[in-house]
């Protein structure tokens, strides 16, 4: 045996010399990347089968529709934050709902879409390709840390096919872009374990890290913040160990590369907010309690995935989610990463009493330290709660998503441990673990349904084509019932909250009323209009130059009274979809309200008066709350305002005495208790109703906010005439 090994080395050395040396070295270097990428792509292709969907979105419901609409905005208008065919008769302005996934939208909308021919195929293929790219990035991280080529293959493959990756592929495709996570971890570990290069090579390395951090930040805000936490922790550790103040520059550079893009993106959104803005949609979708509601639990990420291929293991997870509160988003590390996590935590605890052992295993020590930090961010009541309190929510609520970082750190620890197995025995062990990872982490239950997705596309495309033939190109279509975005104002099940995007995604030239953002008067007018009976809404919509109304009967199935009202107020549909879900009712070509009366009727529909909370008031669902002086804003998009508007709201003030100051200079005193407040007067484009705290603790709420415009008499007459056509 003592002679066999030198002979084997001589053979390998012989293959590595001569004209084949370069090729042999290249194959050896690239083999772990290639193997991991091929295995990850095979798993993704087997799961998603993107070639079977064509231009149909493989997830034709839920959040995937919102992301799909933003990609279509990129294709049609140049960028995702402006949708010219949404929120008709205005346009969608998404700046009030900050999404910092600029890199993803650029790559999918500007690169993938031209290559694949459309929105659906671009998204489907992007999601599929995130698997091999994640594998390659994870292998590169493992190799940087000195992991062998064989063991790094396991890291790349197992990380790429984590259960969470498959789940994200069906919805949040920016979260599916997990290849940026190893970059974020590399930015952290390279502070403790700097590269063994100097001079120009070191400068290029640092430049690459900075650019990589920018890519992380502009892919998803969650990944940017989570990477920043690890960089801060590793930076503190590096300063403690190396005692070199030069590290401050490296730490600051990486922190800036992660933070500045987010700050710039948020700043640009503030710069281009729709004006006048009622309140920011971002504020109504993030509650402080979300940090703990969506925080993670250790048991949750160690359990099998909810879509595990083994029914018994799946039942364990489902029983847990149904029994225990706040299951978050079902985090699951997978068997290998789960074992690695437990072992790494245990190793760190046991070796706490043997500092020399920690020093002898610097890579494992770093992974253990970062895992503890990541765990503090992941768990309920940890860093996520601190972040939320410090930054008033800070835009991050689902802290359980940190489990993907924990999984990567655990897989790296597994690989470092595997390298203690001598060759050639390491190869079959890693091979066996790859089989375990593939069996444990993939599942046919992650597969989307191509026939169902294509059926949705076919039905909606057929309806929109027939509507276009009747109404003509560029016609505006009102979508009924009104559903707010991004937080729905009504139950729509079994339709998803964002199904209103389907007609936009599967049409070419029609404009749609859905898609405006809450807080923007160009969208909120629909909520005001919905307070009227349907027979009153119809003539107003016709005056607003809508060609007709598209009714989603499935979205109305939970509101039988409204569905019955459709049957009473509207005649037989001009277009009916194959399943009967979508029904289109065309208006007469000539509106009953013309001239000045027509303009007034149009403004009544799409430019009403709306009450918003202003300074000193916070929104909580449908209520506003205050603890001191506050302002109610009365806003309209009508340039000349309205001659007569009535603003109403209910003040609940258990101990506070208030004085309400109205725009015309009058006021009303409000004693503790519940008080109905109403004011009628003339308004310009914006008026302020000021709330003054007179006495008491100051806590009060405002509910049932409403503003009604008195219809001019001549416009009322023509609207009544227009309503007659529906009798």
Alpha helices (runs of H) in 289-354, residue ranges in sequence order:
290-293, 298-302, 311-323, 335-350
Mean of the per-residue pLDDT values for the chain? 91
Residue 293 has pLDDT above 60, yes or no: yes
Residue 1 has pLDDT above 50, yes or no: no
Closest CA to 512 of 520, 522, 504: 504
Whether 347 and 364 have beta carbons less than 8 Å apart is answered as yes
What confidence tier does 698 reach under pLDDT thresholds 50, 70, 90? confident
CA–chain centroid gap for 444, Å, is: 25
Residue 13 has pLDDT above 60, yes or no: no
Q: CA 521, CA 382: separation in Å to the nearest integer? A: 38
For 12, 75, 130, 218, 235, the CA distances from 175, given in Å and listed in that order, are 43, 21, 10, 11, 26
Strands 610-613 and 575-576: unpaired
- Name beta bridge partners: 494: none
Q: Which of 84-98, 105-119, 279-293, 364-378 has the lowest mean pLDDT?
A: 279-293
Residue 557 has pLDDT above 70, yes or no: yes
Count, residues in the chain: 727
What confidence tier does 286 reach under pLDDT thresholds 50, 70, 90? low
Q: CA 436, CA 710: separation in Å to the nearest integer? A: 70
Q: Is the torsion defined by CA of 112, 117, 123, 128 positive or negative?
A: negative
Q: Which two tokens stand for residue 545?
A: 């130059």
Residue 326 has pLDDT above 90, yes or no: no
CB atoms within 10 A of CB 543: 27
| Portion of the chain with pLDDT greater than 90, in percent | 73
Whether 538 and 602 have beta carbons less than 8 Å apart is answered as no
Tens-place pLDDT, residues 138-193: 999 999 999 999 999 999 999 999 999 999 988 888 999 999 999 999 999 999 99
What confidence tier does 23 reach under pLDDT thresholds 50, 70, 90? confident
Tens-place pLDDT, residues 482-535: 999 998 888 898 999 999 999 999 999 999 999 999 999 999 999 999 999 998
What confidence tier does 474 reach under pLDDT thresholds 50, 70, 90? very high
Q: CA 163, CA 446: separation in Å to the nearest integer? A: 9
State residue 308's pLDDT score. 96
Strands 642-653 and 700-709: antiparallel
| Portion of the chain with pLDDT greater than 70, in percent | 95
- What does residue 91 show for φ and ψ, rounded to 5 degrees? -155, 155
All domains of the chain, ordered by start, with CATH?
33-55+118-273+288-446 (no CATH), 461-606 (no CATH), 610-716 (2.60.120.680)
Long-range contacts of the stretch 30-34 (C-beta < 8 A, 24+) = 31/149, 32/139, 32/143, 32/149, 32/150, 32/152, 32/153, 32/156, 33/135, 33/136, 33/139, 33/140, 33/156
What confidence tier does 285 reach under pLDDT thresholds 50, 70, 90? low
State residue 143's pLDDT score. 97
Strands 582-586 and 630-635: unpaired
- Name beta bridge partners: 92: 83
Q: Which residues does 350 contact at the CB level (< 8 Å), separation at least 6?
A: none
Strands 623-626 and 700-709: antiparallel
State residue 394's pLDDT score. 77
State residue 3's pLDDT score. 42
- Name beta bridge partners: 702: 624, 651
State residue 7's pLDDT score. 47
Average pLDDT score over residue span 685-710: 92
Of residues 697 and 587, the one with the higher pLDDT is 587
State residue 361's pLDDT score. 87
For 342, 554, 566, the CA distances from 462, given in Å and listed in that order, are 54, 17, 22
**Angle formed by the axes of helices 180-192 and 221-242, nearest 10°:** 10
Tens-place pLDDT, residues 636-677: 999 999 999 999 999 999 888 999 999 999 999 999 999 999
Long-range contacts of the stretch 312-317 (C-beta < 8 A, 24+) = 314/445
Average pLDDT score over residue span 405-416: 98
Alpha helices (runs of H) in 145-198, residue ranges in sequence order:
149-160, 163-169, 180-192
**Angle formed by the axes of helices 403-418 and 180-192, nearest 10°:** 60
Average pLDDT score over residue span 581-600: 85
Whether 406 and 153 have beta carbons less than 8 Å apart is answered as no
Q: CA 66, CA 72: separation in Å to the nearest integer? A: 10
| Three-class secondary structure assignment of 482-511 | CCCECCCCCCCCCCCCCHHHHHHHCCCCCE
3-state secondary structure of 97: coil
3-state secondary structure of 201: helix
CA–chain centroid gap for 378, Å, is: 18
> What pTM was estimated for this model as a whole?
0.92
State residue 183's pLDDT score. 98
State residue 712's pLDDT score. 86
Whether 343 and 420 have beta carbons less than 8 Å apart is answered as no
Beta strands in 546-699 (DSSP E): 548-552, 575-576, 582-586, 610-613, 617-620, 623-626, 630-635, 642-653, 657-661, 667-670, 673-683, 686-695
């Amino acid at each position: 045996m003592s002679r066999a090994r030198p002979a084997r080395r001589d053979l390998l050395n012989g293959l590595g010399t001569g004209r084949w040396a370069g090729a042999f070295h290249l194959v050896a270097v690239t083999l772990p990347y290639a193997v991991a990428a091929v295995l990850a792509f095979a798993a993704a292709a087997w799961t998603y089968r993107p070639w079977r969907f064509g231009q149909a979105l493989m997830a034709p419901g839920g959040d995937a529709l919102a992301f799909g609409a933003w990609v279509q905005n990129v294709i049609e208008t140049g960028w995702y934050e402006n949708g010219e065919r949404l929120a008709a008769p205005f346009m969608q302005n998404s700046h009030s709902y900050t999404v910092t996934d600029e890199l993803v939208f650029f790559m999918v909308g500007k690169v993938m879409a031209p290559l694949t021919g459309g929105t659906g195929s671009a998204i489907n293929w992007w999601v599929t390709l995130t698997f091999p790219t994640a594998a390659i990035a994870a292998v590169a991280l493992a190799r940087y840390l000195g992991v062998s080529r064989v063991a790094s293959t396991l890291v790349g493959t197992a990380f790429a096919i984590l259960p969470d990756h498959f789940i994200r592929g069906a919805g949040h495709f920016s979260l599916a872009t997990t290849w940026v996570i190893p970059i974020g971890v590399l930015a952290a570990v390279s502070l403790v374990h700097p590269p063994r290069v100097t001079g120009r090579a070191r400068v290029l390395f640092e430049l690459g890290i900075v650019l990589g951090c920018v890519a992380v930040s502009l892919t998803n805000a969650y990944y940017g913040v989570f990477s920043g936490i690890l960089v801060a922790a590793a930076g503190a550790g590096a300063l403690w160990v190396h005692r070199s103040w030069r590290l401050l520059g490296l730490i600051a550079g990486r922190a800036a590369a992660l933070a500045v893009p987010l700050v710039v993106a948020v700043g640009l959104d503030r710069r281009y907010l729709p004006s006048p803005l009622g309140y920011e949609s971002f504020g109504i979708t993030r509650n402080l309690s979300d940090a703990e509601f969506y925080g993670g639990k250790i048991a949750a990420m160690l359990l099998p995935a909810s879509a595990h291929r083994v029914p018994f293991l799946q039942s364990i997870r489902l029983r847990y989610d149904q029994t225990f509160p706040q299951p978050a988003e079902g985090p699951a590390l997978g068997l290998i990463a789960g074992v690695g996590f437990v072992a790494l935590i245990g190793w760190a605890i046991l070796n706490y009493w043997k500092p020399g052992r920690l020093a002898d295993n610097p890579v494992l020590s770093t992974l253990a330290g970062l895992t503890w930090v990541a765990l503090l961010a992941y768990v309920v009541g940890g860093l996520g709660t601190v972040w939320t309190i410090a930054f008033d929510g800070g835009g991050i609520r689902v802290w359980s998503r940190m489990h993907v970082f924990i999984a990567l750190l655990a897989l790296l620890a597994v690989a470092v441990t595997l390298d203690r197995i001598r060759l050639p025995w390491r190869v079959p062990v890693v091979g066996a673990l790859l089989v375990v990872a593939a069996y444990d982490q993939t599942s046919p239950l992650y597969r989307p349904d191509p026939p169902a997705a294509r059926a949705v596309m076919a039905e909606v495309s057929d309806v929109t084509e027939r509507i276009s033939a009747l109404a003509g190109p560029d016609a505006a279509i009102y979508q009924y019932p009104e559903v707010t975005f991004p937080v729905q104002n009504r139950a729509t099940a079994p339709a998803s909250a964002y199904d209103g995007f389907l007609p936009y995604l599967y049409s070419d030239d029609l404009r749609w009323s859905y898609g405006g953002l809450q807080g923007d008067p160009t969208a909120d007018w629909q909520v005001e209009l919905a307070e009227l009976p349907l027979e009153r809404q119809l003539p107003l919509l016709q005056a607003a130059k809508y060609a007709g109304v598209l009714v989603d009967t499935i979205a109305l199935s939970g509101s039988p009274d409204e569905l019955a009202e459709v049957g009473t107020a509207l005649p037989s549909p001009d277009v009916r979809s194959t399943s009967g879900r979508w029904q289109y009712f065309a208006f007469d070509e000539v509106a009953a309200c013309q001239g000045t009366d027509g303009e007034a009727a149009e403004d009544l529909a799409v430019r009403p008066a709306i009450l918003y909370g202003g300074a000193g008031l916070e929104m909580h669902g449908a209520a506003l709350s205050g603890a001191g002086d506050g302002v109610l804003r009365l806003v309209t998009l009508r340039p000349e305002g309205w001659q007569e508007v009535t603003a109403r709201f209910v003040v609940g003030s258990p101990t506070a005495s208030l004085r309400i100051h109205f725009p015309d200079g009058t006021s009303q005193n409000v004693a503790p208790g519940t008080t109905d407040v109403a004011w009628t007067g003339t308004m310009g484009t914006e008026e302020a109703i000021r709330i003054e705290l007179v006495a008491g603790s100051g806590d009060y709420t405002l509910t049932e906010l409403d503003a009604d415009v008195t219809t001019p008499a001549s416009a009322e007459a023509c609207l009544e005439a227009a309503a007659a056509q529906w009798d």
